Structure 1
Amino acid sequence: MANLSGFNASASANPNPNKSFEVVQPPTDSVSSLSFCPKGNYLVATSWDNQVRCWEILRTGSSMPKASISHDQPVLCSTWKEDGATVFSGGCDKQVKMWPLMSGGQPTTVAMHDAPVKEIAWIPEMNLLATGSWDKTLRYWDTRQPAPVHTQQLPDRCYALTVRYPLMVVGTADRNLIVFNLQNPQTEFKRISSPLKYQTRCVAAFPDQQGFLVGSIEGRVGVHHLDDAQQSKNFTFKCHREGNEIYSVNSLNFHPVHHTFATAGSDGAFNFWDKDSKQRLKAMSRCSQPIPCSAFNNDGSIFAYAVCYDWSKGAENHNPAAAKTYIFLHTPQVTDQIPNQFGL
């Protein structure tokens, strides 16, 4: 098992070995989610310090704080509306807030659960918000109405959620992966057990909606196709490991143009991969703390990632005063993303 002393000994003390741009005025506690505006270079981060913050990212790589709002408890997830003007955030206060950020409006509560809200997704094709909670439900909301338009029972607590309309995949506790066709959202399309042996941490739908990636706490990623005729293309691979040390895969992000993908892990590293050629395209140097979350901007020219405590060792091993939280911006090279540059 990985341990703190082993991590600190083997990882560089440098929080930024990849010489990424540093976001100014980062959260004062661990970052739980990062999401880019679909219409421009505005980055939102949610944090365990109960805050939702937004920065404008300039072409030079510098950042300017724009605005922030508060929840009553730690915030766990965020997403943008397709108009690029509105942000949704949810967390341990069991509610989701809608924040008209670009117009300078005040946030309003648009969704409620009976336990913390772990995942949210805005579905423009349905004009609905989907929220997944530790109360073992998935709820769909018309933000103009106080009650959910539909509540879907899940087999266990929601840990991960991904949407590429009409495909939605929900990862829950006990390694359940529930697939929905959003053209018929009130019925499960398929339920499978994760191809990975350990707890699901993250999922990402293929850009072509034909399958999904799943990452686990055991440093492994599964590539899964939905079509039964394509099952021979399914495989799993190891990543975010060093010797006998095994680290969680915390984040999976497809590049919006090249459709390669990034993994980020508790080993403090992020890597770029091509699932079709089954190759790692680029391995980045390990940061001095875990990477709990990451995101590409809308054209794939910026990869944002947080470097901070990831709570895997519990509250007793967390000292926010001793370990600063960072958000970095990496500018992927074309050769990081295109497999044939490597002759694969």
Structure 2
Amino acid sequence: MNDTSQYELYDPPTDGISQVCFSPYDNNLLLVSSWDKSLRLYNADTKQLLEKFETEAAILSCCFGDDDMVYFGGLHCRLQSINLKTKQRSTIGPHAQPISCVCYSPLTKRVYTGSWDKTLCAWNPMAGKLDTKTELGQKVFSMDINEYKLAIALGDRKTLIYDIRDLSKPWQERDTSLRYLLKCIRLMPNGEGYALSSIEGRVAIEYFDMSKEVQSKKYAFKSHRSVIQDTEVVYPVNSLAFHPRRGTFATGGSDCVINIWDGVHRKRIRNIVGYPEEIASLAFSKNGDMLAIACSYTFDEGERDHAPDTVFIKRIQDSDVAPRVVASS
């Protein structure tokens, strides 16, 4: 790509990037998990690979915790941790099937895992034990946490919102207007709602306040589509990422395109093209001045030739993410 605002990280994964995740404490630290059975830690500013941790199975999700800790899970069906300072590894506990999502809350000091075994688990990592296990009835496809809210996208296209202080029942259980399998759910930084994407090239914007006035603001829109030989081709929207300060959000699709949206004013701010492969995962840095982009084939077309896996870092200017100014009449 001929884009001076972005660059590639050195020594990328070699097989299917599953997640990119910035540290909430250090703006430059980036975790990258992969199907190549590795967890990589980068300095995103200098492009350097700082650490590479080999594991026995593909990693599907990772996150930062407190005090130099990182957590991850995947096909090995166990929640594991690494202390980045001492390099000590620990196994916290198992699921019956692969772990698809891992989130950490600094408020409760707990790690939350969603799995293909259709459960949500809350773990006490310091004690190395399970706190609670909640049966969900469906596989967990995506998960996100913000303050005390935990959002879960399930295999039956329902979404569950939990207050992590009480996992005995969902705070809200929501149907979605999206008609096909869900791909990604991300909570708004302001706590008012969430964005949800699917394989059908659509994104839904939902709000928690159930008043008629607020619910009238929710909507779904088409994205990541193109016309090829007079036929509309629809691509999965694999990833979503909210900008931490501006509240606008990025979407990454299997069309190898990134769009940045102003969800409030229902406008697209930027259309970024030219990536060599599908966009598998996105994450903004802590202060929002970098966007990590996992460029990696997601196998939604089965086996095919594909470009090597790459992690790009795009420097973000305020004009890239600032909401659209709507002129008053």
Normalising by structure 2, report the TM-score.
Answer: 0.93
Query: Are the counterparts in 2 of residues 195 and 222 from structure 1 also a CA contact under 8 Å?
Result: yes
SS in 2 for 1:336: helix
Matched, 1:54 2:37: no
Out of 238, 246, 268, which is 2:234 matched to? 246
SS in 1 for 2:279: coil
1:106, distance to aligned residue in structure 2 (A): 2.0
1:264, distance to aligned residue in structure 2 (A): 0.7
Residue 197 of structure 1 corresponds to 179
Query: Are the counterparts in 1 of residues 95 and 117 from structure 2 also a CA contact under 8 Å?
Result: yes
Query: Are the counterparts in 1 of residues 18 and 280 from structure 2 also a CA contact under 8 Å?
Result: yes
Matched, 1:336 2:324: no
Measure, in 1, the Cα distance between the counterparts of 2:252 and 2:262.
15
Aligned residue identity for 1:48: W
Residue 69 of structure 1 corresponds to 53
Aligned residue identity for 1:175: R
- Against the structure 1 CA distance between its residues 342 and 193, is the aligned structure 2 distance closer, same or farther, given a 3 Å change threshold? closer
Out of 277, 294, 313, which is 1:306 matched to? 294
Residue 77 of structure 2 corresponds to 94
Greater relative contact order: 1 or 2 (C-alpha under 8 angstroms, separation 6 or more)?
1
Residue 157 of structure 2 corresponds to 175
Matched, 1:213 2:195: yes
Query: Are the counterparts in 2 of residues 78 and 89 from structure 1 also a CA contact under 8 Å?
Result: yes
Measure, in 2, the Cα distance between the counterparts of 1:130 and 1:176.
19
SS in 2 for 1:228: coil
Query: Are the counterparts in 2 of residues 132 and 161 from structure 1 also a CA contact under 8 Å?
Result: yes
- Against the structure 1 CA distance between its residues 72 and 221, is the aligned structure 2 distance closer, same or farther, given a 3 Å change threshold? same
Query: Are the counterparts in 2 of residues 155 and 176 from structure 1 also a CA contact under 8 Å?
Result: no
Matched, 1:150 2:150: no
Measure, in 2, the Cα distance between the counterparts of 1:271 and 1:200.
18
Measure, in 1, the Cα distance between the counterparts of 2:234 and 2:148.
34
Query: Are the counterparts in 2 of residues 171 and 202 from structure 1 also a CA contact under 8 Å?
Result: yes
Residue 107 of structure 1 corresponds to 89
Out of 305, 311, 318, which is 1:327 matched to? 311
1:185, distance to aligned residue in structure 2 (A): 2.1
Q: Deviations over 1:287-334 (max 9, x none)?
A: 1210100111100000010112112123x33x5xx6311100001221
Residue 215 of structure 2 corresponds to 231
Between 334-343 and 278-287, report the one with greater CA deviation: 334-343
Query: What is the RMSD computed on CA atoms of the aligned residues?
Result: 1.6
Normalising by structure 1, report the TM-score.
Answer: 0.89
Query: Are the counterparts in 1 of residues 190 and 247 from structure 2 also a CA contact under 8 Å?
Result: no
Out of 92, 106, 113, which is 1:124 matched to? 106
1:146, distance to aligned residue in structure 2 (A): 4.1
Measure, in 1, the Cα distance between the counterparts of 2:326 and 2:285.
24
Measure, in 1, the Cα distance between the counterparts of 2:324 and 2:139.
41
Residue 297 of structure 1 corresponds to 285
Q: Deviations over 1:20-42 (max 9, x none)?
A: 21101111111100011122201
Residue 134 of structure 1 corresponds to 116
1:272, distance to aligned residue in structure 2 (A): 0.9
Aligned residue identity for 2:21: S
Measure, in 1, the Cα distance between the counterparts of 2:159 and 2:324.
33
Query: Are the counterparts in 1 of residues 265 and 324 from structure 2 also a CA contact under 8 Å?
Result: no
Q: Which runs of 5+ in 1 are unaligned?
A: 1-15
Measure, in 2, the Cα distance between the counterparts of 1:286 and 1:35.
23
1:250, distance to aligned residue in structure 2 (A): 0.8
- Against the structure 1 CA distance between its residues 163 and 257, is the aligned structure 2 distance closer, same or farther, given a 3 Å change threshold? same
SS in 1 for 2:76: coil
Percent of pairs identical after alignment?
28
Residue 11 of structure 1 corresponds to none
Between 23-32 and 62-71, report the one with greater CA deviation: 62-71
